[in-house]
Amino acid sequence: MTSSGRRTVYLDHAATTPMLPAAIEAMTSHLGRTGNASSLHGSGRAARRTVEESRETIAAALNAQPSEIVFTSGGTEADNLALKGLWWARLKDNPGRRRILLSGAEHHAVLDSAVWLAQHEGAEIEWLPVDELGRVRPEEVRQAIEREPESVSFVTVMMANNEVGTLQPIREIAALGREHEIPVHSDAVQAVGQVPVDFAELGVDAMTVSAHKHGGPYGIGALVVRKETQLVPIVHGGGQERDVRSGTLDTPATAGFAVAIEHAIKHQAEEAQRLTKLRDELINGVVGTVPGAKLSGDPVGRLPGNAHLSFSGCEGDSLLLLLDARGIEVSTGSACNAGVAEPSHVLLAMGYDDQRARGSLRFTLGHTSTQADVDAVLENIGPVVERAMSAGLQNVGRNN
């Protein structure tokens, strides 16, 4: 509830999703228990049993082997481990493998890791273009690889875009990687629980997942990595997690993670159908009633819960705050760095101009979303856009 007593409408599930009651119960049941999963005494063995049972559950949900699940503190660490670990492992075998192929629409955990490698390790970043719908085309990946395959370190393309919801042709890209013996990584953080995610069938070498995007706890995720794929650790210590990621394992969090992902996968098909209906009603209602409103991303190949819309003549931040004042919580298509709003790098990569990139909102639905939430958006979005446009015109007048 808001301070005024109004019900809060939460439509920012892409940022984080409320924990499932069953995941909370699983996690809290272990919080009062003592035991380091690396200890050999009874308490340690009990903790290890919980961790390994959780690992097995997560692996089964993703159609991976338990030994392929490497626990991390979340998606950001998993992306860093994938990129830096692959980079250094590949470089050991061949110092000439310096090209990293990735799209300009990736999450910052991937983008910034790649840029760091370029700035500090001599990596050569090659940006894969995305079209106006946010898609990476396999033929572009093939052309980039075949220009000089022996110089490619790895390819990384996210499974589903975190801003506009566009789904990528990961199977085809992974097949290109196998054809040229080049590892392929995919950030699947947004995809798990919304669309089918089958690690073995996708054919990627490494895949990032995060618990809090599908009803699990914050602070835990995993890099799913094939047993034969070599990674150089970026965190050193006790040699946990296949000597790839040292550190004491968070036993309660692994339990919550396992319950959440098992539930998400079990109910994925029916939940996708429900969310798609709500999403389409939201999109059609906004585009049909608000002048200048446009859908961003692929209208068909997109996440069931994602509705990314741009509004002509408005600033996304203003729209967000006006909706927030009415108890509706969404996010913008902008990333704020050091308090300075910048146009979304995803939308700019898709060819949008600054105005459209700045005037966007991301509505993302999840397991707590209802018809009443969509109705609240449709009731409020028109007056909010009118007020934001009016404020924008007033500011233009002052500046002139």
The one-letter amino acid at 252: P
* Amino acid identity for residue 346 in this structure: V
Q: Per the residue annotation, which of 200, 321, 336, 396 is the catalytic one? A: 336
The yes-or-no answer on residue 336 being catalytic is yes
Q: Which residues are catalytic?
A: 336
